[in-house]
Amino acid sequence: IERIAVLTSGGDAPGMNACIRSVVRTGIYHGAQMFGVMQGYQGLINDEIIPLNSKSVSNIVQRGGTILKTARCLEFKTPEGRKKAYDNLVKHEIDGLVVIGGDGSFTGAEILSREYDIKVIGVPGTIDNDLFGTDFTIGFDTANNTVIEAIDKIRDTAASHDRLFFVEVMGRDAGYIALWSAIGGGAEAVLIPEKETSVDDLVDKLMVDLGNLKTSSIVVVAEGEHGGGAMAIAEKVKERFNYDTKVSILGHFQRGGSPTSFDRVLASRLGQAAVEALLKGHNRKMAGMISNHVALTSIDLAIKNKTEMDETLIELVNILAI
């Protein structure tokens, strides 16, 4: 491996830039030629491949988003799209590819490297924290801190007005942000896709809470819950429980911002690990962090396996809400 390209794909996540920087500088340190692909897989198809040097990644460790930009690319899902992508890799004589993204991005990488002679290593970059083979994904910690800051502020106004708030956070298929921010933000309840909660049970709990000790409550809701997120659940609750209720949807605010120290260090370590894995001849692996050690997991497993949601965390929300 002598010429390595890096791309970011799927939803952006704070810390992606720190990871790009680490990939580029680790490659240069070991004598490789480094390239960046703009717009994820779309840039591979359109030949938007640019050489990167150490200076190209200066002053980005602290920046949210991704300097390489990102996209969700449908054309790459077709054999014709992947052929174009591979032809462009050959044109630039690139023999190793680092893909920073989530499971959709890894699926693309896996297929490309099975069809063609290109080695790929994935780095988990998504705020959702929903990948097997790593304790944390790049961006999760920053997103949680952003959510906690919002919940703290919502709590001030909820308490002043004696209101019930439904706060919707990101995670279409994964409840990690919801669960972590519910614990860290002191929410009364959490609704996540991994565990079904009936509206009746939720209303019973809120009636007890708000009828007794509490005058305000915060319920964290993962987007997509009950077929429409916080708005849908609030409507259903209001049908049974007449309380001053508000909905706050945090939205893409959660995906931006300067990465936390944790995310910067995680991104830097995984970027280094990805490049060194390529240089050692690894292929179709994801560089993750397990118990504070870098661990390579086959991309195949990282995509197929689901990390079990820790039931004790769900229980903790309930314990802390009494």
| Closest by Cα among 161, 245, 172, 167 to 203 | 245
The token pair that represents 210 in the structure block: 């708000």
Consult the annotation and say whether 110 binds a ligand.
no
Angle at 56 between CA 50 and CA 61, to 5 degrees: 125
**Cα–Cα distance measured from residue 87 to residue 146, given in angstroms and rounded to the nearest whole number:** 41
Binding ligand F6P by CB under 6 A: which of 110, 128, 188, 209? Answer: 128
* Min separation Cβ 2 and ligand F6P, Å: 33
What is the footprint of ligand F6P within residues 171-230 (CB under 6 A)?
171-172, 223
Judge whether 128 counts as a catalytic residue.
yes
Whose Cβ is closer to ligand F6P: residue 178's or residue 202's?
178
* Min separation Cβ 35 and ligand F6P, Å: 25
Indicate the helix (H) or strand (E) that contains 251: none
Whose Cβ is closer to ligand F6P: residue 104's or residue 184's?
104
Indicate the helix (H) or strand (E) that contains 247: strand 245-249
Residues 6+ apart with CB under 8 A from 105: 9, 10, 40, 41, 99, 122
Listing DSSP states for 101-139 in one string gives E-HHHHHHHHHHHHHSS-EEEEEEB-TT---TT-S--BT
Please report whether residue 255 would count as binding ligand F6P according to CB under 6 A: yes
Consult the annotation and say whether 22 binds a ligand.
yes
Consult the annotation and say whether 252 binds a ligand.
yes
In this structure, are residues 15 and 129 in contact, taking their beta carbons and an 8 Å threshold? no
Indicate the helix (H) or strand (E) that contains 288: strand 285-290
Consult the annotation and say whether 254 binds a ligand.
yes
What is the footprint of ligand F6P within residues 153-172 (CB under 6 A)?
170-172
* Min separation Cβ 92 and ligand F6P, Å: 29
Which DSSP category does 307 fall into? P
What is the footprint of ligand F6P within residues 91-120 (CB under 6 A)?
102
* Min separation Cβ 96 and ligand F6P, Å: 25
From the candidates 12, 47, 87, 128, give the one annotated as an active-site residue.
128
**Cα–Cα distance measured from residue 285 to residue 273, given in angstroms and rounded to the nearest whole number:** 11
Consult the annotation and say whether 57 binds a ligand.
no
Sheet containing strand 119-124, strands side by side: 49-52, 33-37, 3-8, 96-101, 119-124, 285-290, 293-298
* Min separation Cβ 301 and ligand F6P, Å: 20
Using the structure block, give the residue that is written with the tokens 């970059």: 125
Task: Considering only the stretches 122-130, 225-233, 264-272, 276-284, report the one whose residues sit in contact with ligand F6P under the rule CB under 6 A.
Answer: 122-130
Consult the annotation and say whether 187 binds a ligand.
yes
Indicate the helix (H) or strand (E) that contains 83: helix 79-91
Whose Cβ is closer to ligand F6P: residue 217's or residue 260's?
260
Consult the annotation and say whether 55 binds a ligand.
no
Binding-site residues from annotation for ADP: 21-25, 155, 186-188, 214-216
- Residue numbering of the annotated binding site for Mg(2+): 103
| Binding site members for substrate | 126-128, 163, 170-172, 223, 246, 252-255
Binding site for ligand F6P (CB under 6 A): 11, 102, 126-128, 170-172, 223, 255
Annotated binding site: 11, 21-25, 72-73, 102-105, 126-128, 155, 163, 170-172, 186-188, 214-216, 223, 246, 252-255
Instruction: List, by residue number, the catalytic residues.
Output: 128
